[in-house]
Amino acid sequence: MKLRKCANCNAYTFKQTCTKCNKETINPHPPKYSPEDVYGEFRRRMKAESNVDRDN
Ligand SMILES: [Zn+2]
């Protein structure tokens, strides 16, 4: 079971919906990398480009 977060009131819960305001909760920490992540290379490239932008 993963800890989830309410985007509405920022409460943390394990439930799919917030126990306080009954809004749907989100996963605040999505997995950063997995071997099956087909978008990993794309994201790394985007990150590299954003770093270049910052340096300039
Ligand atoms: Zn809430």
pLDDT of residue 15: 95
Structure confidence by residue, pLDDT tens digits, 7-54:
999 999 999 999 999 999 998 876 666 666 666 777 788 788 777 666
pLDDT of residue 11: 95
For residue 5, report the distance from its CA to the centre of ligand 1, in Å. 8
For residue 26, report the distance from its CA to the centre of ligand 1, in Å. 10
Record the pTM.
0.49
Do the beta carbons of residue 10 and residue 4 sit within 8 Å?
Answer: no
For residue 19, report the distance from its CA to the centre of ligand 1, in Å. 7
For residue 23, report the distance from its CA to the centre of ligand 1, in Å. 6
Do the beta carbons of residue 27 and residue 15 sit within 8 Å?
Answer: no
14 or 2, greater pLDDT: 14
Q: Which domains does the chain have, with CATH numbers?
A: 4-55 (2.20.28)
